[in-house]
Amino acid sequence: MTSYETSTRLHGAHDVPEGLPTQVTIYEVGPRDGLQNEKSLVPTDVKAEFVRRLVTAGLPVVEATSFVHPRWVPQLADAAELMTMLGEDGRDHPVLVPNERGLDRALELGMRHVAVFGSATETFAQKNLNRSLDEQFAMFEPTVRRAREAGLDVRAYVSMCFGDPWEGAVPVQQVVDVGTRLFDLGASQLSLGDTIGVGTANQVTALVTAFTDAGMTTDQLALHFHDTYGQALANAYAGLQAGITTYDASAGGLGGCPYAKSATGNLATEDLVWLLTGLGIEHGVDLEQLVATSTWMAGHLGRPSPSAVVRALGGTAGPAQSPG
């Protein structure tokens, strides 16, 4: 059954509400951001199968891993082995590179897409990067420059855009200053992260407006939500209203942040797909295959998926009903 047929059976056909985009890109982060905080090590062959299943389900972008030092994120210590296992196709999957050493490893394996991960706040920069807010740019500049010179595409993440567990509310202008500076190093896209999931729809609108007022376009921005307070879908809808067409999400709602203990799961890809389908927005993902993949991974992790849609379609909440 195709993605269109699956979506139509569950939802029926709908016209996209006026003012919303007709198509979005889902940037799948489950294999990297979803698994990095797991307490037990996931076998490399299971990770490789996870990536392959996500691609088969129609996810256009699947971020596979991070070339971070294994002391900091033990779960991703097998990054090189994983990318080798994925073969030639693996070279098109984005990987996170925290610094030049990580970039060196990515270049050795012929990767074509890399990402760097900055902070909008001083405290998180110190805890996550061992750099000050200002010093992080000196670390990222040669990494981004060398990646671009080698012909790689570079994405930039900026974390703690909506709130910081140590500093509290983060001024919008501070986020814009950090984000535009990070983007201007040479990135093709900037992902704005609600790392601890405290953001609200009004904040999303204000932040996107501030970035566009600063000269960035909506196609240069992506949004990355966590569902700590149950606001991820509402925030995604606010992003759609603001014209954002790229959303980070994690299959089954997996994830968190090793350096921010209050950060719970990412926005579940299935929940986002359900929202988009109900709005008539094209996304290209086969929901049934995606749910099956997340259910399969939950079995390997030994616990149920936190995604509401996975729980519903996985048979624990009765037959599916059309939303709205």
Could you give the dihedral angle defined by the CA atoms of residues 21, 191, 258 and 81, in that order, rounded to the nearest 10 degrees?
Answer: 90
Backbone angles phi, psi at 267, to 5 degrees: -55, 125
161 is catalytic: no
The DSSP output letter for 67 is -
- Measured over the CA atoms of residue 142, residue 191, residue 161 and residue 208, the dihedral's sign is positive
Contact indicator for 111, 122 with CB cutoff of 8 Å: no
**Of these residues, 257, 263, 309, 312, which one is catalytic?**
257
φ/ψ bin of 58: left (φ > 0), alpha (ψ from -120 to 50), beta (otherwise): left
Backbone angles phi, psi at 85, to 5 degrees: -65, -35
Instruction: Express the helix, strand and coil content of the chain in percent, nearest 5 each.
Output: 45, 15, 40
Task: Report the alpha-carbon angle 173-197-178, nearest 5.
Answer: 25
**Residue whose C-alpha is closest to residue 21's, from 217, 235, 243:** 243
- Measured over the CA atoms of residue 268, residue 271, residue 273 and residue 275, the dihedral's sign is negative
- Rg (C-alpha) for the chain, rounded Å, is 18
Bridge partners of 192, per DSSP, are: 158, 223
**Residue whose C-alpha is closest to residue 61's, from 256, 323, 247, 193:** 247
166, two tokens: 């140590």
CA distances to 13, 111, 286 from 7, in Å: 8, 33, 8
Contact indicator for 166, 123 with CB cutoff of 8 Å: yes
- Residues annotated as catalytic are 257
